[in-house]
Amino acid sequence: MAMKHMGEGQCPFGFGDSDSKQAGTGQAGTGYTHSAMPTAMPRDKLPELVKEPIAEGEDGLRTGRCLCGEVSFKIKTKADKAFANHDAESRRWTGGVALTLMVRASNTAFHGWGRVVQHATNDRERHCFCRVCGSSLFVRHVQPEAMDGMISISAGCLDSTEGLVLAADTYVDAKPDYYAFEGTRRGMTTAEVEAMHAPRTAAE
C-alpha cells in the first residue's frame, strides 16, 4: 500500500490538519491540535504532541528517539515488559525479531511528528517510522476495537533498556530456526494471538 508523508505539525495518525479551524473560534489553526480532531474520536486514543525535543530520561521516564534524533518520545507510565514478535511482518519491519513495549498512545508524548510516516500493513496495524533515517518507531493498532489506541514502541529506540524484562514470545510458530532467546517465558502461537485479537461476542 502507498505510504503517506506527513508535513511538519501534522499527525501521522490522520487526526486534524494544519489548516483546520480552532475549535469554537472559527479561526484558522496554526498547526496540529487535538481540538481539530473528529468529534467521534475519543481523546484517550491520542498521544501528547510536544514542540521541544525530548531529552534522555526527561522527567525520570523512559525516553527514546530515532537514529537521526529528529523524532523523540517519552512513555509517561511504567513500561518494563518487552515482547518478542517473530511473525514475518515484524521481521520485515525491523530486519529481525521485533522487540516492543505495548502502551496506550495517550500515555506517551512525541516530538517530531512531521518526520513520521505510517504504512498500512494490514487492516489492524499501521507501522510507523522516521522518514529521514528509516528507524522503526512504533506500530499503531487500530483493530479490533479493544486494541484501538494502543501502540507497540520499538524497544531498540529506547535511550535505556535498564529494568526491561522479556515477558513473552508471540508468533512462536513463525520463529526462524537461526536464533533463540535464553530463559523461559510465555509463548503464544499465531492461532493464540489471532484468538486474542478476535472480536468478542455479547455472550463473552
Domain residue ranges in the chain: 8-41, 44-197
pTM for the complete prediction?
A: 0.76
Calculated CA dihedral for residues 123, 126, 127, 129, nearest 10 degrees: 150
Q: Is the pLDDT of residue 26 over 70?
A: no
| Statement: residue 114 has pLDDT above 90 | no
Computed from CA positions of residues 178, 181, 184, 189, in that sequence, does the dihedral angle turn out positive or negative?
negative
Dist CA 86 CA 174 (whole Å):
6
Where is pLDDT greater, at 5 or 92? 92
**In angstroms, rounded to a whole number, what is the distance separating the alpha carbons of residues 108 and 101?**
12
Task: Kindly state the average pLDDT of the residues 39-46.
Answer: 65
Cα–Cα distance between 86 and 21 in angstroms, integer? 44
Segment among 13-22, 119-128, 150-159 with least mean pLDDT = 13-22
| Predicted pLDDT of residue 200 | 63
Strand order of the β-sheet with 48-49 is 48-49, 108-111, 72-75, 62-65
Architecture of domain 44-197: Beta Complex (2.170)
Nearest 5 degrees, angle CA 123-CA 124-CA 130? Answer: 100
CA–chain centroid gap for 203, Å, is 31
Percent of the chain at pLDDT above 70? 76
What's residue 86's pLDDT?
Answer: 95
More confident residue, 39 or 174: 174
At residue 38 the predicted structure's pLDDT band, cuts being 50, 70 and 90, is: very low
Kindly give the pairing relationship between strand 98-104 and strand 150-154: antiparallel
Tens digits of residue pLDDT in 182-204: 999 999 999 998 887 776 665 55
Number of neighbours of residue 133 by Cβ within 10 angstroms: 13
Pure H helices in 52-182: 88-94
In which order are the strands placed within the sheet that holds 4-5? 4-5, 116-120, 125-130, 136-141, 150-154, 98-104, 81-85, 165-170, 186-188
At residue 28's C-alpha, the angle toward residues 25 and 29, to 5°, is: 95
Q: Which run of H or E residues covers position 194?
A: helix 190-197
